[in-house]
């Protein structure tokens, strides 16, 4: 039995895979096969250099070539997760990469996921299943046990695909971390694969970035380099024409593959916290849809479908003043619901939200935001933040009680006549409070797998369903409720837009990069 205090697991109780999970992996890794899988690791000179983007683009490009390709990242740290068909959690970047590769997302694409919850503590998710909340120091004490999970998963992929694209994290040559880095050089070394290096020219110093990173890579792995990609160039590419000469002079053993222009429109989902601020930047023109920027925000990608529509703009807000012009207010997901609720009160946003409702502004709560809209939140053990019984915003007659069990599942959602795939990922159970039991003015928001879900009242609704706004019918209904004129939803579905995005990314790298070294290695 695992021994824990306050949700923190003790060192002598660390067991990252269940017996069934271990048996499943071992049975696959002992299969004898003549299949030979090639691996390419996409490394970066820094965080936010473009590793996730390039991995996605390469996956889409190889998929167009008819190659059986799959994405992989040993470990992510993110509160933006995706729910697989079997109810597991992985980073959203790997989910997007899977779709670009023509695959359903699977937990083996991201065996270790860390979901920060504050105070240098994260929820540890192994092979899609939440284990415990774990401090950073304790996590690194058990890095070798986690590496074995990664190894088993890598071995599993050998019989399942022709090419494995391995995304790195941050820089592969952080000298103080390399001895315990299981994300960058170790996987590609284990598979005896090759690697690409991508650098971000936008932040400056691209030559120092590339040359310095290459020089610090261990000698035994330098010869495995396939090439260098310069990313995020703004302006006239002819001004960078001499780059090839400089790179050839200073990096003679690492081919320069080319430079990619900065692409604001071609951006798939990412999990890196440094990328999140860019995703949360204001966008569009028109009436304001205000999204509350919680300190412990999670699943921020729920806002993305709105960015495709005309007549509205997404605005992330941190102060009451920013709500003055809002026509719709959204309280998104939270990884620390009680602390984010306290933050709403400390900043004055709680009062401002109630005032906005009295002016007729619709209020929407998703997941943690849904829980905050209720009358009470009860957390006996501190699972959702600090333990205790806390009053909610009182905008819906609900009570939420937090428990160790976690609901993680994909659902078939239905709003009016539109049906689409969405998902739940939350801790806690929400039910009607006494004042709402016999009140017929409240009703469900939508159907999830044919069952009524969420609660809606007078211009206020809440739901556990992530992906709610991927339905154009939902977005149109809310704009009608908000009395927004001039609103026009995107002509294409969200899913169609995503598929076209991957195709465009594949075309971009084919147009701007010399892919010959990759073709040669993969024998294409």
Distance of alpha carbon 183 from alpha carbon 105, whole angstroms: 19
Distance of alpha carbon 316 from alpha carbon 266, whole angstroms: 21
Distance of alpha carbon 77 from alpha carbon 146, whole angstroms: 14
Tell me the residue length of the chain.
524
Element (H, E) at 372: helix 368-372
The residue from 133, 303, 426, 466 that is catalytic is 466
Distance of alpha carbon 130 from alpha carbon 454, whole angstroms: 24
The answer to whether residue 480 is catalytic is: no
| Token couple for 228 | 């260098």
Query: How many C-beta atoms surround the C-beta of residue 27 within 10 A?
Result: 10
Distance of alpha carbon 462 from alpha carbon 454, whole angstroms: 6
Distance of alpha carbon 292 from alpha carbon 329, whole angstroms: 8
Helices (H), 384-493: 472-481
Tell which residue, 148, 138, 139, 128, has the closest CA to residue 85.
128
Tell which residue, 406, 390, 395, has the closest CA to residue 339.
390
The answer to whether residue 190 is catalytic is: no
Q: Quickly tell me which residue has 């952080």 as its tokens.
A: 174
Strands of 367-493, DSSP E? 376-379, 388-391, 398-415, 418-432, 446-448, 451-453, 455-456, 460-463
- How many angstroms from the chain centroid is the CA of residue 302? 11
Element (H, E) at 152: helix 143-157
The residue from 250, 367, 426, 480 that is catalytic is 367
Distance of alpha carbon 309 from alpha carbon 128, whole angstroms: 33
| Token couple for 63 | 């998929």
> Phi first, then psi: what are they for 228, rounded to 5°?
-115, 135
Element (H, E) at 503: helix 494-512
> Phi first, then psi: what are they for 335, rounded to 5°?
-90, -10
Residue 522 CA: distances (Å) to CA of 36, 154, 371: 11, 18, 50
Q: What is the DSSP letter of 120?
A: T
Residue pair 149/190 in contact by the 8 Å Cβ criterion: no
- How many angstroms from the chain centroid is the CA of residue 475? 22
Active site residues: 367, 466
């Amino acid at each position: 039995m695992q021994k824990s205090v306050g949700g923190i697991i003790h060192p002598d109780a660390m067991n990252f895979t269940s017996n069934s999970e271990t048996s499943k992996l071992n049975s696959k890794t002992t299969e004898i096969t003549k299949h030979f899988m090639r691996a390419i690791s996409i490394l970066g000179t820094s965080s936010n250099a473009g590793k996730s983007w390039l991995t996605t683009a390469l996956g889409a490009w190889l998929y167009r070539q008819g190659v059986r390709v799959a994405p992989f990242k040993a470990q992510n740290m993110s509160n933006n997760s995706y729910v697989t068909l079997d109810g597991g959690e992985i980073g959203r970047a790997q989910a997007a990469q899977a779709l670009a590769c023509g695959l359903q997302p699977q937990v083996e694409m991201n065996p270790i996921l860390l979901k920060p919850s504050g105070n240098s503590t994260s929820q540890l998710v192994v092979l899609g299943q939440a284990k415990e909340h774990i401090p950073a120091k304790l996590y690194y004490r058990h890095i070798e046990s986690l590496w074995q999970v990664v190894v088993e998963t890598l071995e599993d992929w050998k019989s399942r695909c022709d090419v494995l694209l391995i995304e790195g994290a941050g820089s592969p040559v952080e000298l103080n971390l390399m001895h315990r880095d299981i994300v960058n050089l170790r996987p590609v070394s284990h598979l005896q694969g090759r690697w690409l290096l991508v650098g971000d020219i936008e932040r400056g110093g691209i030559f120092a970035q590339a040359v310095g990173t290459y020089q610090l890579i261990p000698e035994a792995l330098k010869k495995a380099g396939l090439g260098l990609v310069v990313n995020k160039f703004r302006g006239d590419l002819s001004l960078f024409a001499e780059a090839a000469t400089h790179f050839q002079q200073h990096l003679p053993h690492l081919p320069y593959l080319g430079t990619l222009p900065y692409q604001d429109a071609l951006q798939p989902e990412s999990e890196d916290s440094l990328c999140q601020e860019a995703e949360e930047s204001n966008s569009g023109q028109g009436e304001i849809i205000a999204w509350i920027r919680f300190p412990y925000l999670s699943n921020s990608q729920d806002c993305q479908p709105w960015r495709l529509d005309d007549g509205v703009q997404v605005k992330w807000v941190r102060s009451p003043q920013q709500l003055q012009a809002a026509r719709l207010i959204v309280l998104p997901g939270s990884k620390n619901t009680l602390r984010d609720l306290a933050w709403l009160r400390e900043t004055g946003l709680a009062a401002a939200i109630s005032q906005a409702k009295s002016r007729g502004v619709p209020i929407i709560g998703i997941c943690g935001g849904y829980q905050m809209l209720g009358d009470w939140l009860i957390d006996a053990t501190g699972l959702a933040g600090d333990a205790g019984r806390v009053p909610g915003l009182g905008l819906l007659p609900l009570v939420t009680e937090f428990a160790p069990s976690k609901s993680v599942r994909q659902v078939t959602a239905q709003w009016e006549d539109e049906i689409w795939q969405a998902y739940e990922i939350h801790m806690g159970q929400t039910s009607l409070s006494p004042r709402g039991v016999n009140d017929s003015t409240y009703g469900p928001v939508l159907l999830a797998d044919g069952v009524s879900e969420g609660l809606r009242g007078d211009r206020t609704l809440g739901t556990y369903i992530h992906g709610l706004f991927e339905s154009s019918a939902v977005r149109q209904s809310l704009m009608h409720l908000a009395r927004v004129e001039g609103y026009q939803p995107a002509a294409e579905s969200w899913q169609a837009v995503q598929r076209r995005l991957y195709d465009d990314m594949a075309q971009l790298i084919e147009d701007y990069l010399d892919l010959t070294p990759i073709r040669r290695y993969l024998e294409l």
